[in-house]
Structure 1
Amino acid sequence: MDAVCSDLVAEVRGFRQRFPDVRYVDLISLDIPGHFYGKRYPIEMLEKVAAGSALKLPQNCVLLGTQGGLFKIGDYCFNDGDPDAPRRLVPGTLKIVNWEKQPLGQMLITSSGTEKPIVFEPREVLAQVLERLGRKGIFPVVAFELEFYLFDRELRDGLPQFARDPLTEDADDQPNMHIERLSRFAPVLDEMVETARAQGIDTTVITAELGPGQFEINFGHLDDGLRAADWAALFCRSTRGVAMKHNYRASFMAKPYLQHPGSGMHVHVSLYDEAGNNLLAANGQRPLRHAVAGCLELLPHCMPIFAPNHNAMRRLSGTVNVATRASWGFEDRDACLRVPESDAKNLRIEHRLAGADANPYLVLAAILVGLEQGLEAGREPIAPLNEDRGSGIDFPLEMLEAVRSMQNHAQLREGLGAEFVNVYCENKRQDHLAFLQDINAREYRWYL
């Protein structure tokens, strides 16, 4: 048994000692649309997997549509025999699930690091980008921020309803960003934070956001990009579970209400060398400007990643603090790329465009490719919004146009992998077309 297997076996045995009532563990991984798939294993079998027994799942689980359907993508799904692909356990991710009625564990799995990685698996895509940056002496430090809404558990005519204030039983009517909302919803928010910390997630600041029942949770900065994205993915899962316990729905849907702000995924990224020097701060912050230029140039071709569905595109409609063009600025929340005020050690870029329901592995991978290419090209960016409020680069706001812009972009294919780009774009194209295959009441009102 090698050292990795020994550590995994010790992790499983330690978990069983701490939680003797747990009989099953969910082995989970994130697919292209950002949903977890996997298998529920008896915990005694998990110990065998940790010791080296084979762990395989169908390769095509990764490229399911939003509703779980299979699309014909090249030879995948219908012409490949639906083969199994090896997975491995991700060390350090075996944690207790405390929002279910029965004791349960969960653990991340991935094809990354196996003898045959799935090139379009989101975690593997990010792993390859991080590995390439490491070979170049570039080491990111990353922190995610996620916005979400609380709704009543019961829908009305299929539509979400405002979360009821636990004190008054009325719809949440607290003023925007009012601290009192945090107090009113403290029982569910506190358990969300405690549950996230039980998953090993360093949650920090909680904010009552602009929309009714809308909140934001910040995570700590990490020098491990994979783990940072793991935290974002796992937080969405645990937050939905805790909300259901309290008779709410938690949703990371990008634009649940037309008349209220959407929910975003903000990603803070700084870059360091092996000695711990901030690469963006060197030479009078010239690398910062080059990195910004690279991100802005690539951004219009990454829109299917940042806004991965029809609803996410709705969020980019000119509401407060959401950019409608690729732009940047110092301390400017109307920009796609905001440079927060900080000292040279902590100089970073906050990427603010992605919707909260975007895939965190792919969002971070796309951001890092933009930064990487910007540093290598060494070009100056367009004017910041602080100097020119009209500064910006147009990006597509319709999915099929966005897919076309991404599909054949040479630098993006090189940075994220050509096969991934092919699979991802076809998945998004077919998912969007499937979404449109429904006649809603408005169509009858307009065209009957």
Structure 2
Amino acid sequence: MKNHASTLLAEVRTFRQNHPDVRYVDLIALDIPGHFYGKRYPVEMLEKVAAGGPLKLPQNAVLLGTQGGLFKIGDYCFNDGDPDANRRLVPGTLKPVSWESQPLGQMLITSDGTEAPIEFEPREVLAKVLERLHHKGIHPVVAFELEFYLFDRKLDNGLPQYARDPLSDDADDQPNLHIERLSRFSQVLDDMAQTAKDQGIDITVITAELGPGQFEINFGHLDDGLRAADWAALFCRSTRGVALKHGYRASFMAKPYLQFPGSGMHVHVSLYDGAGNNLLAAHQQQPLRHAVAGCLELLPHCMPIFSPNHNAFRRLGGTVNAATRASWGFEDRDACVRIPESDPRNLRIEHRLASADANPYLVLAAILAGLEHGLEAKREPITPLNEDRTSGADFPLEMLDAVRAMQHHPVVRDKLGAEFVDVYCENKRQDHLAFQKEINAREYRWFL
């Protein structure tokens, strides 16, 4: 613990030396819906925390709904006295915030690694899965890809407007993959990429996607799953901030336009043993087939994680590369689980089902749980789409059905934790019911 504290203290002091104008640091963590919560600390108080001082926040901050409200979930929130829970600083995440009007820093915090971790904290759920895999000699290497839309900063009666082309000032309303779109929006995209790099995120490929104002940014492969998910979470925060600075609004909303493709979170995962051998490539790739079968088996029971809100279910089917059934295939972007072409050393799965606004810690935890289950069960997968375009297994396409499919599934409860599954499912159920309580104008037009 002393070495840990001295490392953190050195990180804070180095940051203060390099950024003497920063007076405050945001200590942040991701809640269940995927929003950051936390506190703004004076930088001198951060030194005390880094040296081993207490860092406590309400336990139930993790349980907030999408709109920030509290739901009654078991005894949490209303019958537990709203207790504090210990958090710790995540080493290596103290970075400057460049998109605010005043100098600021930010640093991730978490309950995982404390004496009493919060069982339903997303980062803790992933940490447990990774720890279990490591004990089995399985070491994942992970890379995220995130799609997002740029909109004009101003909404039109609450509706998004196309991003304005900075060269012509016209709306970017022509969806295409042309490289010139990257050039036209290069100022904001370059700033997003550089800001992400300043946060320690390894940005690689930038693509202009099919939708108007839609882009995709890929991250480098990491042998630290927690850090890979940290990158995805932090990228969303910095990208929104940079977009506002440039007069845009960036959103990872799953389906902002019905007529254009939705935004996804694609996750590449390969598995290695302690000697660095690719486990999926062994025995003529038989473990790969088992892993795919496990992923597909658990996929219908993890839909509230992959599609975490009402809008995310709109993304599934009807547009390019968005499946409505659990499927797999080699080099097939219509599949939920795609096997990209690669050499045996880099053999991996690409899980393509999750929406861009899903919680990256939970998405990765669910994918790894599926892979682990597959390697244990050693079942053959269904026919790949390459051989049968109709192949696939049904999964829920509505939130309440998805919650029912997840909550009592024994493997999901075992792999992700029964307490987490109960809390998460009730959070999603209550969020969905709260969303349904508003009568919109269309409903009056149809039924008044």
- TM-score clears 0.5: yes
> Does structure 2 conserve the Cα–Cα contact (< 8 Å) formed by 1:12 and 1:46?
yes
1:152-191 Cα offsets, whole Å, 9 max, x none, are 0000010000000001111004451110100000000000
- Please name the residue that 2:369 is paired with: 369
CA distance in 2, matches of 1:173, 1:82: 48
Distance 1:323 1:246 in 2: 34
Aligned to 1:392: 392
Q: Quick check: 1:86 aligned with 2:86?
A: yes
How much has 1:5 moved relative to structure 2? 0.2
The one-letter code sitting in structure 1 at the alignment partner of 2:308 is P
Alpha-carbon distance, 1:317 to partner = 2.7
In 2, the alpha carbon distance for the partners of 1:327 and 1:164 equals 38
Q: 8 Å contact 1:153–1:247 — kept in the other structure?
A: yes
Match of 1:198 in 2: 198
User: 1:169 & 1:131 partners in 2: Cα distance?
Assistant: 51
Identity %: 83
Find the counterpart in structure 2 of residue 419 from structure 1: 419
Supply the distance in 1 between the matched residues of 2:162 and 2:119 (Cα, whole angstroms).
41
Give the equivalent residue in structure 1 for 2:73.
73
**Equivalences, count:** 448
C-alpha distance in 1 between matches for 2:327 and 2:397: 15
Residue 293 of structure 2 aligns with which residue? 293
Structure 1 partner of 2:410: 410
Matching residue's letter, 2:158: G
The alignment's TM-score, normalised by the length of structure 1, stands at: 1.00
Helix, strand or coil at the partner of 2:226: helix
Find out whether 1:270 has 2:270 as its counterpart.
Answer: yes
Q: Secondary structure at the match of 1:14?
A: helix
**Secondary structure at 2:210 match in 1:** coil
Verify the 8 A CA contact 2:175 2:213 in the aligned structure 1.
Answer: no
Q: Deviations over 1:282-327 (max 9, x none)?
A: 0000000000000000000000000000000000032110111000
Structure 2: 5+ residue runs without aligned partners? none
Alpha carbons of structure 1 residues 58 and 175: separation in structure 2 relative to 1, 3 Å: closer
The aligned residue for residue 55 of structure 1 is 55
**What is the CA–CA distance in structure 2 between the aligned matches of 1:183 and 1:63, rounded to whole Å?**
41
Contact 1:281–1:288, Cα closer than 8 Å, also in 2: yes
Deviation at 1:384, TM superposition (A): 0.2
How far apart, CA to CA, are the structure 2 residues paired with 1:65 and 1:14?
A: 37
Question: Corresponding residue for 1:184?
Answer: 184
Query: What is the identity, as a one-letter code, of the residue corresponding to 1:227?
Result: R
Q: What is the distance in 1 between the residues matched to 2:354 and 2:93?
A: 26
Structure 1 SS opposite 2:345: helix
Partner residue in 1 for 2:434: 434
CA contact (8 A) 2:270 2:346 kept: yes
Q: Does 1:14 align with 2:38?
A: no
- Unaligned runs of 5+ residues in structure 1 are none
Preserved CA contact (<8 Å) 2:162 2:173: no
The residue aligned with 1:379 is 379
For residue 326 of structure 1, what is the aligned residue in structure 2?
326
Report the AA paired with residue 27 of structure 2: L
Cα-Cα RMSD: 0.6
Q: Partner letter of residue 433 of structure 2?
A: L
Q: 2: distance between equivalents of 1:79 and 1:59?
A: 13
Deviation of the 1:4 alpha carbon: 0.2
Question: Which residue number in structure 2 is paired with residue 210 of structure 1?
Answer: 210
Q: Distance in 2 between matches of 1:156 and 1:320?
A: 27
The answer to whether the 8 A contact 1:174-1:180 is kept is no
| Aligned counterparts of 2:409 and 2:14: Cα–Cα separation in 1 | 48
In the other structure, the counterpart of 1:253 is 253
Contact 1:307 1:354 in 2 (8 A): yes
User: What secondary structure, in the 3-state scheme, does the structure 2 residue paired with 1:281 have?
Assistant: helix
C-alpha distance in 2, partners of 1:439/1:389? 40
Q: In structure 1, how many angstroms separate the alpha carbons of the residues matched to 2:173 and 2:241?
A: 24
Residue 38 of structure 1 corresponds to 38
